């Protein structure tokens, strides 16, 4: 039984990436996970995603590019305001301008840079660099 599907998917991606594999199968697939993977795809950390339907639900097949150094879910999901982004950037990212924090805002899931530009706070979901 999985307690956190996002943390499981991100750690599975990182493990397969470290082993040098180019594909990974992720199950179960949720809307939050799909949106997180879409953001990682837009920033060039992972390749394309295919959805496969099985009798037990949807399975995602990811193609890895070899660009992930570290990624993971942020637990607990800290509340972050506009003035506190820098604190969490220092905690989870190796340097300024390197990597992304994925934030759940009232306007949907986005990166911390997009949230700062729109002057939004939210809850931290994941990080990747």
Per-residue pLDDT tens digits of the chain, which is 129 residues long: 578 999 999 999 999 999 999 999 999 889 999 999 999 999 999 999 999 987 778 899 999 999 999 999 999 999 999 999 999 999 999 999 999 999 999 999 999 999 999 999 999 999 999
Q: In this predicted structure, what is the pLDDT of residue 58?
A: 87
Tell whether 37 and 75 lie within a shared domain. no
Tell whether 60 and 75 lie within a shared domain. no
Rounded distance, CA 28 to CA 5, Å? 7
What's the CATH number where 60 sits?
A: 3.30.1370.30
Domain that holds residue 114: 71-128
Give me the number of domains the chain comprises.
2
Name the pTM for this structure: 0.92
Tell whether 55 and 79 lie within a shared domain. no
Phi, psi values for residue 128, rounded to 5°: -160, 140
What's the CATH number where 106 sits?
A: 3.30.1490.10
Note the residue count of the chain: 129
Q: In this predicted structure, what is the pLDDT of residue 1?
A: 55
């Amino acid at each position: 039984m999985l307690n956190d599907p996002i943390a499981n998917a991100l750690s599975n991606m990182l493990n397969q990436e470290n082993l040098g594999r180019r594909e990974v199968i992720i199950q179960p697939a949720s809307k939050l996970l799909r949106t997180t993977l879409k953001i990682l795809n837009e920033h060039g950390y992972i390749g394309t995603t295919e959805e496969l339907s099985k009798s037990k639900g949807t399975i995602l097949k990811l193609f890895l590019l070899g660009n992930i150094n570290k990624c993971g879910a942020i637990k607990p999901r800290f509340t972050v305001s506009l003035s506190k982004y820098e604190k969490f950037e220092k905690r989870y990212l190796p340097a300024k301008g390197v990597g992304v924090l994925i934030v759940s805002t009232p306007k949907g899931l986005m990166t911390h840079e997009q949230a700062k530009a729109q002057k939004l706070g939210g809850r931290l979901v994941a990080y990747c660099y």
